[in-house]
Amino acid sequence: MINYSLSERQREIVLLLAAGLSQPKIAGKLSISQHTVKFHVNEMFSRFEATTAAMLIARLTVLGELTIVDLHLASSSRQCGVDVDALGRGSRKCVEREGHEGAHRRAAS
């Protein structure tokens, strides 16, 4: 049986990949080595039979491991400078309830 769930670290990495960050930038943002990022990415590629970040993200979305809200937060945080980590674990529910602007208000407070 294949384990489709992501660890918290893998989730952080894949969301940063979705935001368009390179592996070296992900390593810097998460304060981990590039080797660790590469290890997690390669493990996810293997487990989900993906050869590109886009394919990995698509498969994780189909499997329900990522949602459109997750991807929106990841991409919009890169474009507008909101730190997704600052929103906390309740950010998905906040964005679903209050929309993108509500998430910005929470991050600013």
Residues 37-60: pLDDT tens digits?
Answer: 999 999 999 999 999 999 999 999
CA separation for the pair 66, 59 (Å, rounded): 9
pLDDT of residue 75: 66
- Is pLDDT at 104 greater than 70 in this prediction? no
Confidence bin at 108 (pLDDT 50/70/90): very low
Cβ atoms within 10 Å of 77's Cβ, excluding its own: 22
* In a shared domain, residues 75 and 52: no
1 within a domain of the structure (yes/no) = no
* In a shared domain, residues 72 and 93: yes
* In a shared domain, residues 12 and 54: yes
3-state helix, strand, coil in the chain (%, to 5): 70, 0, 30
CA separation for the pair 87, 64 (Å, rounded): 21
pLDDT of residue 28: 93
CA separation for the pair 66, 26 (Å, rounded): 18
pLDDT of residue 52: 94
* In a shared domain, residues 36 and 12: yes
* In a shared domain, residues 53 and 12: yes
CB 58 within 8 A of CB 70: no
Give per-residue pLDDT as tens, 12-37. Answer: 999 999 888 999 999 999 999 999 99
Kindly tell me the number of DSSP H helices and DSSP E strands found in the chain: 7, 0
Question: 46, 60, 52: which is closest to 15 by C-alpha?
Answer: 60
Give per-residue pLDDT as tens, 57-95. Answer: 999 988 888 887 777 777 665 544 444 444 444 444 444
* In a shared domain, residues 58 and 87: no
pLDDT of residue 14: 92
